[in-house]
Amino acid sequence: MLRTSTLFAALLLVPLAASAEATLSGFIQQNTAFNTAGQNPDGRHYKWLEERAQLKLDATEGDWRLLAKGDLAYDHLGRQDGSELREGYLDYAGSNWDLRLGRQVITWGLGDLVFVNDFFPKDHEALFAGRPLEYLKRGVDAVKLGAYPEFASFDLVLAPNFRESRTPDADRFRLYDPMPTVANRETVKPKEGDVALRAYRDIAGYDAALYLYRGFQRTPSMRPDNMTATTKITYFYPKLSIYGASLSGRAGEGVLSLEAAYYDSREDRAGDDFAVPNSQTRLLAGYQIQPVEDVSLGFQYYAETMHDYDAYLAALPAGFPVDKRWSHAVTARLTQLFLHQTLRFSAYASYNASNGDRFVNPELRYSFTDKIWGAVGANFFGGKSWGQFGQLSRDDNMYLQTRYEF
Amino acid sequence: MKTKFASFRLSAKCLLKALQRRLMREARYAGTKHWLIWIIAALLPLAFTSQAQAFSGEEVMKKSQAAFLYPGKDFKARVVMKLINKDGQERVREMTMLRKNMGEAGGDQKYFMYFFQPSDVKDMTFMINKYPARDDDRWMFIPAINMVKRIAAQDKRSSFVGSDFTYEDVSGRDIEDDTHAVEREEKVGERDCYVVKSTPKGADSDFGYKFTWVDKANFLPLKEEQYDRKGARYKQFSADEIADVKGIPTAVKRTMKNLQTGHRTEVAYLKTDYGLGIEDSLFSERFLRQPPRKWID
């Protein structure tokens, strides 16, 4: 419904675009990802096989700006839901405030594929299926109000409808399922929207920010109707509030990033509902350096802890995997540029010391011309069968991306 | 104190020039019989020249930096860089570059860049807070995921957007990083130049030493030759076209050639302008994410 209305609003604004300074750009793209070990649950060998075209209209008139970015996609694996309005919004820029109305991608926080204060919907499947990085983020239909008084800057995001993150498709990825025999499943989405606030400013050369969120978990939890004789599983998005902070700036030769957040699981404050995530504290420390020309190294340490661990243990049904109270993970990324920065090698690796979860993503990307680039890469997963990456350990894949931009 | 003295001398030079022009004009109006005025006017440059020769290498480089990288309170240009390999294949990097001085010449500066080309970096913005005596602060906005990222930048000798120019070539190298000596005076085309030899004090630079031909009249670097640490010819810079922009001589065409690889970068500064009144607030996360059209066209 909202998508239609956004599209309709965008169409209404076409006359504005006609009188304004407007640019039209876009790309066509081929994207293939194939399994390197085993096959999909649906028997196929491809994680992704798709042609895609994007058109982007960007029009400015005085203090107004209209941006519409739409994708048309053809999926050879028979899932035709890839065509979408990626972004479509109207901007108004006042002197010390601004407004953005419509579908927009918002990214907060400092993490590299680790999210502490980035509350906005993501597409985890895009990351695991070797799609270009921009598809990691999903737009939200929201009003974003920016206020920039002298002492600090503020972003307030009001979304009337909740939008969830996209999790990998169970036909393409081998996802952990504690109750594989139950076929009757239903997903219930929140009826309300959510709200997020960020306040940020410079403090002694450091970028400091505070974050607040009131809404829901972006990935679903599952609740069986009956523990002993389950006939139906309901997926739902538990209520969640987040209170976070971040700081980044120069430290020694590199850039230090620190993030922390308290995840208040409002639907299970006692922590004794096994279906709802426990309240958590999440901590992230990152450091990035450039040891030599055209080489960048980034390291992250990430920890999360459950606040009502004893209640969690007591409530967990027999046979369900047990998470540890503390989870510690480290990540590393190497990026190196060659041939006047037209060839880029990057490798990302993450390892969770608490459950053995691991993920490696090497990628080589080359710009054949200023308009055509291609990338080849791989996703390797490992760990316990119920871990975030471990469950995908038979979903290792290699991918190709080719894009012509105009 | 030293810089104050130098700037006093610079203004004294301006006064002399103005006086000379005035005298010439008066002599013309008064007719040839006022030969005394003509003689005085003709002799004035001598006084000026003898003073100019007293510049040390460091003073010449300081003046050169002020003329090349600090003119105007602020500056804007549409920069088109052509990266050309030895086979003649071209890549184009196009951006709007905005610069604002936060104090005197040689002091802190802020840079804001918005990229038009190549297509895969279109709408990307880049902000540098440049401090002469320590490492820059740099931020990048990645439009694909709508993220602002602070980036590490301890190596000012690294390539700027893959070109033959380094960050230092674009925004300046600390005068104190090298020792400077005026080797000789020489013409580049029709222009009289000081030839300054600069040798890095530290051992971490990619070049061993370099010569800069600095125009004696406007202090723009017209030519630079870099030698590697083994003493072989390495890179060559030339200011190919100087234009007068609001009374400020500006190198609007420049080339940096890597003599060892045959790769070169040709740069054109289009729509160059000074004294636009760029607000401090432009250099902020708000405008990194949403660059104002009036500054980036």
Looking at residue A378, its pLDDT comes to 98
CB of B182 within 8 Å of a chain A CB? The answer is: no
**Do residues B81 and B44 both lie within one domain?**
no
What string of H, E and C letters represents the secondary structure of chain A? CHHHHHHHHHHHCHHHHHHCEEEEEEEEEEEEEEECCCCCCCCCCEEEEEEEEEEEEEEEECCEEEEEEEEEEEECCCCCCCCEEEEEEEEEECCCEEEEEEEECCCCCCCCCCCCCCCCCEEHHHHHCCCCHHHHECCEEEEEEEECCCCCEEEEEEECCCCCCECCCCCCCCCCCCCCCCCEEEEECCCCCEEEEEEEEEECCEEEEEEEEEEECCCCEEEECCCCCCCEEEEECCEEEEEEEEEEEEECCEEEEEEEEEEECCCCCCCCCCCCCCCEEEEEEEEEECCCCCEEEEEEEEEEEECCHHHHHHHCCCCCCCCCCEEEEEEEEEEEEECCCCEEEEEEEEEECCCCCEEEEEEEEEECCCCEEEEEEEEEEECCCCCCCHHHCCCCEEEEEEEEEC
Confidence of residue B135 (pLDDT cuts 50, 70, 90): confident
B293–A21: do the CB atoms touch at under 8 Å?
A: yes
Q: Which of B91, B144, B146 shows the shortest C-beta gap to A342?
A: B91
Extract the tokens encoding A347.
Answer: 């490798």
CB B135 within 8 A of CB B112: no
Q: Which residues of chain B are within 8 Å of residue A342 when distances are taken between CB atoms?
A: 91, 162
Confidence of residue B153 (pLDDT cuts 50, 70, 90): confident
CB of B122 within 8 Å of a chain A CB? The answer is: yes
**Do residues B161 and B36 both lie within one domain?**
no
Percentage of residues in chain A having pLDDT higher than 90:
88
Looking at residue A38, its pLDDT comes to 86
**B24: pLDDT strictly greater than 70:** no
Domain residue spans in chain A? 2-405
**Do residues B85 and B190 both lie within one domain?**
yes
Looking at residue A162, its pLDDT comes to 97
* Burial class for A241, CB neighbours closer than 10 Å (0-12, 13-18, 19+): middle
Extract the tokens encoding A354.
Answer: 């608490």
Domain assignment present for residue B222? The answer is yes
**B2: pLDDT strictly greater than 90:** no
Report how far residue B174's alpha carbon sits from residue B221's, in angstroms, rounded to the nearest whole number. Answer: 15
Q: Which of A250, A299, A300, A371 to mutate to test the interface with B (most CBs of B within 10 A)?
A: A250
**Do residues B154 and B214 both lie within one domain?**
yes
Domain assignment present for residue B62? The answer is no
Looking at residue B207, its pLDDT comes to 93
User: What's the CATH number where B87 sits?
Assistant: 2.50.20.10
CB of B157 within 8 Å of a chain A CB? The answer is: yes
Q: What are phi and psi of A204, to 5 degrees?
A: 50, 45
Strand-pair partners of B144: none
**Do residues B47 and B104 both lie within one domain?**
no
Question: Could you give the ipTM of this predicted complex?
Answer: 0.91
Strand-pair partners of A362: A347
Give how far Cα A35 sits from Cα of A348, A386, A396, Å: 19, 20, 6
A370–B159: do the CB atoms touch at under 8 Å?
A: no
Query: Of A50, A54, A55, A111, whose CA–CA distance to A81 is shortest?
Result: A50
**Do residues B78 and B47 both lie within one domain?**
no
Q: Which residues of chain B are within 8 Å of residue A200 when distances are taken between CB atoms?
A: 285
Q: Å from A403 to nearest chain B CA? A: 9
Looking at residue A49, its pLDDT comes to 97
pLDDT digits (tens, 9 = 90+) for A123-158: 999 999 999 999 999 999 999 999 999 999 999 999
A153–B286: do the CB atoms touch at under 8 Å?
A: yes
Chain-wide mean pLDDT for chain A?
94
**Do residues B152 and B38 both lie within one domain?**
no
**Do residues B125 and B16 both lie within one domain?**
no
Confidence of residue B10 (pLDDT cuts 50, 70, 90): very low
Q: Which residues of chain A are within 8 Å of residue B85 when distances are taken between CB atoms?
A: 340
Q: Write down how long chain A is.
A: 406
Confidence of residue A319 (pLDDT cuts 50, 70, 90): confident
Section B6-14 average pLDDT: 45
List, as ranges, residues 106-145 from A with C-beta within 8 Å of B. Answer: 106-107, 110, 132-134, 136-137
What string of H, E and C letters represents the secondary structure of B95-139? EEEEEEECCCCCCCEEEEEEEEECHHHCCCEEEEEECCCCCCEEE
Least confident of A91-95, A310-314, B35-39: B35-39
**Do residues B227 and B270 both lie within one domain?**
yes
Q: What are phi and psi of A12, to 5 degrees?
A: -60, -30
B117–A132: do the CB atoms touch at under 8 Å?
A: no
A292–B155: do the CB atoms touch at under 8 Å?
A: yes
Extract the tokens encoding A127.
Answer: 């990351």
Looking at residue B18, its pLDDT comes to 57
Chain-wide mean pLDDT for chain B?
86
**Do residues B125 and B218 both lie within one domain?**
yes
Extract the tokens encoding A86.
Answer: 């990626």
**Do residues B49 and B73 both lie within one domain?**
no
Section B215-227 average pLDDT: 97
The CATH architecture one would assign to domain A2-405 is Beta Barrel (2.40)
**A396: pLDDT strictly greater than 70:** yes
- Number of domains making up chain B: 2
A200–B144: do the CB atoms touch at under 8 Å?
A: no
Q: In which domain, by residue range, is B44 found? A: 2-54
CB of A340 within 8 Å of a chain B CB? The answer is: yes
Query: String of b and e for B104-115 (b: at least 16 CB within 10 Å)?
Result: ebbeebbbbbbb
**Do residues B88 and B194 both lie within one domain?**
yes
Give the DSSP H/E element, type plus range, for residue B22: helix B2-30
Which residue would you say has higher pLDDT here, B37 or A200? A200
pLDDT digits (tens, 9 = 90+) for B59-71: 999 999 999 999 9
Q: Which of A54, A107, A127, A145 to mutate to test the interface with B (most CBs of B within 10 A)?
A: A107
**A1: pLDDT strictly greater than 50:** no
Report how far residue A89's alpha carbon sits from residue B250's, in angstroms, rounded to the nearest whole number. Answer: 40
CB of A76 within 8 Å of a chain B CB? The answer is: no
Section A93-118 average pLDDT: 96
Which residue would you say has higher pLDDT here, A30 or A20? A30
A255–B154: do the CB atoms touch at under 8 Å?
A: no
**B28: pLDDT strictly greater than 60:** no
Cβ contacts from A onto B, under 8 A: 102
